[in-house]
Amino acid sequence: MVLRKLRQEAEIAFRHLEVLQAVLDNQPIGIFKLAELMNMPKHKIRYSLRVLEQSGIIEPTQYGAIVRDDTDKVFEDLRREIHEIKEYTEKMCEIIKKL
């Protein structure tokens, strides 16, 4: 399907945001506790944590992952990017309606 890759990427991004929310709500928290809390395999949690760390959103500590204090700009960028994606998907819906 034409949009399969987009859907897969959206699902992964959604998981990253879910993990971010769980870290924010339960910090500091480790991989095992997150996996248990979210009922998700550890390898998926580990990958999401790595992506969030490389994006400068979280940082590891000896007690588990925590959200960095200076993430306001990162969160604002995420909001902007999601808004842009939403605009594209709305345009795509309009095209599909015309087909």
Could you tell me the pTM of the whole model?
0.87
Q: Which residues contact 64 (CB under 8 A, 6 or more apart)?
A: 27, 28, 29, 30, 33
Give the residues of the chain that fall short of pLDDT 70: none
- Provide the domain limits for residue 51: 4-98
- At 66-94, the pLDDT tens digits run 999 888 888 899 999 999 999 999 999 99
The domain total for the chain is: 1
Distances (CA, A) of 53 to 10, 16, 23, 46: 19, 11, 12, 10
Structure tokens given for 6: 């987009």
CATH of residue 31: 1.10.10.10
3-state secondary structure 49-91: HHHHHHCCCEEEECCEEEECCCCHHHHHHHHHHHHHHHHHHHH
